[in-house]
Amino acid sequence: MGDRHCPVALFTGATAGIGEAILKAYAKQHRDARIYFVGRKEESARKIIEDVRAMWTDGQERVEDEGEITFVKADLTLLRNVQSVVEEVKRREGGEGRLDLLCMSQGYLTLKGRQETSEHHDAPLVLTFHSRAYLTYSLLPLLRSSNSPNGARVISILAPGDEGPLYLEDLDLKERHPTLIDWIFPGWLRRLTGLDPGYMMLRISHSVIMTTLFFEELARRERERIQEVHPTTEAAPDVLGHSGGKAGVSFLHVYPGLVKTNEFENGDFPVALKFFFTRILLPLITPMAVPVEKVGEGVTSMVEDKRFSLSRSIEGEQAEVAELGSDGVRGSGSYCLSWDGRRKVKENVLEALRKKGASELLWEHFEEGLGFLDTTTGE
């Protein structure tokens, strides 16, 4: 388990691209950290471990207070594997374990329609929402044990600001719903090519909105939990838990921006499209792209930034520095941000959905799927 005073972090989807950049930026800032990272590619994981250890030791064989980095191999398109990851991290952390950061970026690019898993879910949707939701919920006990002054952070790298349609009666997108792009990519063309960009757009929209609404509900429950433990007094601290208890967990939905990575080369695309993306499109957008290392540094800076803490109230000094939450409440504990810390969210879309009861429906939907977790829960 190592030093109980060192920061502890879990990264998923970190064996390549943006996730790898965030992991390395975090490791650079926290040379005594205990890091777990999850992925499928063992060869890539070995290289990352070598790079991080070289960074920590500066070429020496061993240094004092050197951190630990552990790879956990898992395919997170299957929710039973999510449970295995949770159990493995809890086992390694032990009875007094904790977690200061959970950063999730798993996913892959595809223009195909629904890709059914053996658990009857759409694989890309599992990666971008379901696996992240279950990881977050299941690891809440460890996150709540964090010693970080501004509380533990949960970060999901996705696409706030890209909110679109949400079919409340079909959150898992088991059906094929009409989209605007169907005018230029009709059914016969979808059948001919095996591609369905309309479904891809709906998948993204569902993932984005469900992530934000799910984080808002978790933040609301976290505020209530802390309020019960530390009732507000006239001498209440600025940040939850600073009166001697643990600070609360906050939840960040982060947009990485236009980033040039190997995703286009490794994505699930036909050869012709892959050629177009890598040989024509990428060279055109490269001058406008944000370097992946810069994104990694930007996201890492959010981990201990008090602006993104769970604020006890909307009064006092903390309220002046706390960011507006995704729900429009300053310091609410749920934030939609760009990689550089700027707020990024379509408030009108979310507010309309809240009025329709989307938050409650999503939570009911989530609870219905908790059976696989058995006793591994966040409550």
Share of the chain above pLDDT 90, in %: 70
For residue 1, tell me if it sits in a domain: no
Tell me the average pLDDT across 298-307.
Answer: 95
Residue 378 in domain: no
Pairwise CA distance, residues 68 & 172, whole Å: 38
User: Residue 260 — very low, low, confident or very high, per pLDDT cuts 50/70/90?
Assistant: confident
Residues 366-370 have a mean pLDDT of: 87
Give a yes or no: residue 222 inside a domain. Answer: yes
Backbone angles phi, psi at 101, to 5 degrees: -145, 130
Residues 256-265, mean pLDDT to the nearest whole number = 77
Residue 151 lies in a domain: yes
Q: What pLDDT does residue 27 have? A: 97
For residue 174, what are the contacts with CB-CB under 8 A and spacing of at least 6?
114
CATH number, residue 289? 3.40.50.720
Q: Please name the residue that has the structure tokens 């599992």.
A: 126
pLDDT for 66 equals 78
Question: What is residue 318's predicted lDDT score, i.e. its pLDDT?
Answer: 52
Report the range out of 16-30, 60-74, 217-231 with the highest average pLDDT.
Answer: 16-30
Q: Is the pLDDT of residue 263 over 70?
A: no
109 lies in some domain:
yes
Pairwise pLDDT comparison (65 vs 89), residue with the higher score: 89
Is 272 inside a domain boundary?
A: yes
pTM, full prediction: 0.90
Over residues 48-72, the mean pLDDT reads: 85
Q: Is residue 358 part of a domain?
A: yes
Q: Mean pLDDT over residues 308-331, rounded?
A: 75
User: Is residue 377 scored above 50 in pLDDT?
Assistant: no
Label residue 317 by pLDDT band (50, 70, 90): low
Beta-sheet strand order (sheet of 250-255): 68-73, 34-39, 8-12, 101-104, 153-157, 250-255, 334-338
pLDDT tens figures, 121-167: 999 999 999 999 999 999 999 999 998 989 999 999 999 999 999 99
In the block, which residue shows the tokens 């000094």? 317
To the nearest 10°, report the CA torsion of 130, 134, 140, 142.
-120
pLDDT, tens digit (0-9, with 9 covering 90-100), for 83-128: 999 999 999 998 778 999 999 999 988 999 999 999 999 999 999 9
Give the mean model confidence (pLDDT) for residues 266-286: 70
pLDDT at 324: 93
Q: Is the pLDDT of residue 50 over 90?
A: yes
In the prediction, which pLDDT does 237 show? 43
Number of domains into which the chain is organized: 1
Q: What pLDDT was estimated at residue 301?
A: 97
With a cut of 80, say whether residue 327 has pLDDT above it.
yes
Out of 70-74, 226-230, 254-258, give the one with best mean pLDDT. Answer: 70-74
- Residue 3 within any structural domain of the chain: no
Query: What pLDDT sits at residue 3?
Result: 54
Cβ proximity of 160 and 212 under 8 Å: yes
Judged against a pLDDT cut of 90, whether residue 321 lies above it is answered with no
pLDDT at site 244: 41
- Compute the radius of gyration of the chain from its Cα atoms: 21
Q: Which domain holds residue 160?
A: 8-373
